[in-house]
Amino acid sequence: MCLGVPMRIVEGDDISALCERREERRRVSMLLLGPQPIGTQVLIHIDTAVRVLDAEEAGLIDQALDGLAAAMRGEDFGSAFADLDREPQLPDHLR
């Protein structure tokens, strides 16, 4: 399974950017988004920035990733998904 992770741009140019998330720094391709200002949160998938994120969405993704890590360790993860305050619903075409 591949997951996208939010990272913040710390330096960059038209082609690539150095991004960080927590203790990790990674050079990623910016070819899909073009140059972005330093401090911009982007979603990284396979070392490529695929979408600009606002701070709230980046935080929710980080929280979900923390919940996934807790679940894999056998710990309680319910608080990591507090924004999901309802049961998932099937789309109409699948009901």
User: Percent of the chain beyond pLDDT 70?
Assistant: 92
Domain ranges of the chain: 5-76
What are the angstrom distances between the C-alpha of 94 and each of 37, 84, 85, 86, 91?
42, 21, 22, 18, 6
3-state secondary structure of 6: strand
Burial class (CB in 10 A: 0-12, 13-18, 19+), 61: middle
Q: What angle do CA 10, 15, 19 make, to 5 degrees?
A: 25
CATH of 5-76, one of 2.30.30.140, 2.60.40.420, 3.90.1150.10, 3.40.50.720: 2.30.30.140
Give me the chain's average pLDDT, please. 90
Per residue in 31-63, pLDDT (tens digit) is 999 999 999 999 999 999 999 999 999 998 999
pLDDT of 17 above 80: yes
Q: Please indicate, yes or no, whether the overall pTM of this predicted structure exceeds 0.85.
A: no
